[in-house]
Structure 1
Amino acid sequence: MTPLRIGVLGCADIARRRMMPAMRELPATELTAVASRDGARAAEVAGEFGCRPVAGYDALLARDDIDAVYVPLPAALHARWVESALRAGKHVLAEKPLTTEPARTRELLVLAAERGLVLMENVMFVHHGQHAAVRKLLADGAIGELRSFQATFTIPGLPDGDIRYRPELGGGTLWDNGVYPVRAALHFLGDGLRVIGATLDAGPGREVDTAGAALLRTPDGVSAQLSFGLDHGYRSVYEICGTRGRLTVDRAFTPPADHTPVLRLERGSGTELIELGADDQVTATLAAFAAAVREGTAAGHECLEQARLLDDIRRSASRSGRG
């Protein structure tokens, strides 16, 4: 199998810390080049990972030894560079959110389809095996009929200069870690979710939202209560309640590769702790991207639904005067 040759647009922390090491180790991918607007920075990072340095993003897109690009840039820059990559004939794996506007997200997905290219949003947790195990338990009726879903993802404060505190770069908790509870609700409850209400609040001295919450509802009445925040204690959990029990998953969204997941299943007969094997969601995501390119398949529906819900949450919060 010929590996997928990947170029990286930018030297973001997530690229260096998680994605580039996995690209280098996974047989299905080959880390070919990394670009930076600063040539010296590109050379430094390329030297660390044994790939080619490129000065400037356009120069990387013009290379004929690259099949696909990974875009770890700030959210506000995604649309421009994802479009440029697609028009250059490259498959794209872009950090979440793909864009901050549903219409723009749709445009890019249509462009990718028209050109026969794979465009995938880098929401990694959905590729972790623990969530497939949860889906099987739900399908087997382990907790009966679904009644409610709750998810929380909050993280501690970041350095003041972090891009997630800069509104012009698409900062704020909704676009950063709010994506996770929203995508989890979609993952388990499916299409048709509607935003009933939402709040977005900025912390002291911040120009972006650092705390948020939303209430969603499915067409058949299952509720989803979501919360997310920057400048909070770390919490990464979801809970699904049914007519006969409750299922809880901790370390749900960003588990390290050596983490041993434990599902907590509570029913009238008692509590069962279901231990699963460790899984690396970074490698699993890259493998899924490479497979989609190899097989010529791509699923953008959940990405578009997620974009709609994030925008509806933002609009609902604005209407309520909290956002």
Structure 2
Amino acid sequence: MLPAFAACPDIEIAAVASRDPAKARQVAERFGCRPVHGYGELLELDDIQAVYIPLPAVLHAQWTEAALNTGRHVLAEKPLTTDRRRTGELLELADTRDLVLMENVMFVHHHLHRAVRSLVADGATGELRSFQAAFTIPPLPDGDIRYDPELGGGALADVGVYPLRAALHFLGPELDVVGARLTRGAGRRVETSGAALLGTPGGVTAQITFGMEHAYRSSYELWGSEGSITVDRAFTPPADHVPVIGLHRGGKTQEIRLEPYDQVAATVEAFAAAVRAGTLPDTRATLRQAELLDDIRRSASRAEPVRTG
């Protein structure tokens, strides 16, 4: 994110804060800004207009609220908070103070997904029937914060957000959770994999799969009455990646290739543009995502194995 901030003509990196003064100095020297010891000290500076919060998930709410209360716009890593109530409170706080609060879900800013939406809207798949998405990554080092429940770790909040947000992106906010399962790997204190089934009032189903002790996968597919669309490298493509949309109709496959696109730069530019224009972003998807994350957790906690015999 820091290189993307540095490359954006509408942003100046003014300071970087850390609990470790040496780390703050090291990063500040690289990006030509001031090192600050402590997050609270950063918010006492009088020349900071906006704050980026990349902390562990459990700390997002505390420092997002603190930044908003000092009049700063905020770009916060996903998930914005670890529960729907706090997410709603912070979005309302930002709205009442006319401040931009954006959750850093970058893939929604990639032109690939706009192109897929256009294809669906133009009837490329016929009447939409179902959506399936997966995001899984290989195991992390044992000490990684994403294995720590006290820091808001777990596969759902870290990687499950991607396919869930994709389902919302394509199917809309009326999605509801039908059922879910979260699985904890051996020796882990958080869930390391999971899946959920969702549906719309119109009968379109969505199946999402996620995990962080798996072979890598980042994809989605939309099925319709007349065809389907497949996308690989969907959620975290590098800036030089050539996106390919697979359009499958009538037993034939057409590959639609797009120009490479830097979704990190696009996200940073969208945040800067909103701040400069004083235009508050549409945060309804952020709130609905928080609600569905809570619903998935509740559904998974009620799930019992089905025994046959």
TM-score when scaled to structure 2?
0.97
1:300 aligns with 2:283: yes
DSSP 3-state at the match of 2:154: coil
Equivalent AA in structure 2 for residue 316 of structure 1: S
1:286 aligns with 2:268: yes
Distance 2:304 2:150 in 1: 21
Could you give the per-residue CA deviations for residues 206-245 of structure 1, whole angstroms, max 9, x where no partner exists?
0000010000001100000000001100000000001110
Distance 1:275 1:92 in 2: 34
- The structural deviation recorded for 1:55 is 0.7
DSSP 3-state at the match of 2:158: coil
- The structural deviation recorded for 1:30 is 1.3
- The structural deviation recorded for 1:38 is 1.3
Could you give the per-residue CA deviations for residues 22-42 of structure 1, whole angstroms, max 9, x where no partner exists?
000111211111000111110
Match for residue 203 of structure 1? Answer: 185
Match for residue 9 of structure 1? Answer: none
- The structural deviation recorded for 1:65 is 1.3
Matches within 5 A, 1:63-142: 63-142=45-124
Match for residue 22 of structure 1? Answer: 4
Equivalent AA in structure 1 for residue 283 of structure 2: G
Match for residue 12 of structure 1? Answer: none
Match for residue 312 of structure 1? Answer: 295
Distance 2:104 2:12 in 1: 18
Distance 2:278 2:159 in 1: 30
Distance 2:136 2:269 in 1: 28
Could you give the per-residue CA deviations for residues 250-279 of structure 1, whole angstroms, max 9, x where no partner exists?
000000000000100000051100000000
Match for residue 223 of structure 2? Answer: 241
Equivalent AA in structure 1 for residue 302 of structure 2: R
Distance 1:186 1:37 in 2: 36
Gaps of at least 5 residues in structure 1 are: 1-18
Distance 1:291 1:186 in 2: 24
Equivalent AA in structure 1 for residue 188 of structure 2: R
Pick from 145, 149, 164 the counterpart of residue 182 of structure 1.
164
- The structural deviation recorded for 1:83 is 0.2
Q: Alpha carbon RMSD of aligned pairs, Å? A: 0.8
Matches within 5 A, 1:215-254: 215-254=197-236
Distance 1:73 1:299 in 2: 23
Equivalent AA in structure 1 for residue 133 of structure 2: A
DSSP 3-state at the match of 1:316: helix
Gaps of at least 5 residues in structure 2 are: none
Could you give the per-residue CA deviations for residues 286-317 of structure 1, whole angstroms, max 9, x where no partner exists?
01111111222221100000000010000000
Pick from 139, 147, 155 the counterpart of residue 165 of structure 1.
147
- The structural deviation recorded for 1:127 is 0.3
TM-score when scaled to structure 1?
0.93
Distance 1:33 1:247 in 2: 44
Distance 1:107 1:175 in 2: 19
Equivalent AA in structure 2 for residue 23 of structure 1: F
Equivalent AA in structure 2 for residue 318 of structure 1: S
Distance 1:321 1:58 in 2: 44
1:152 aligns with 2:128: no
- The structural deviation recorded for 1:321 is 4.4
1:277 aligns with 2:256: no
Runs of 4+ in 1 over 4 A off after TM superposition: none
- The structural deviation recorded for 1:111 is 0.3
- The structural deviation recorded for 1:51 is 1.4
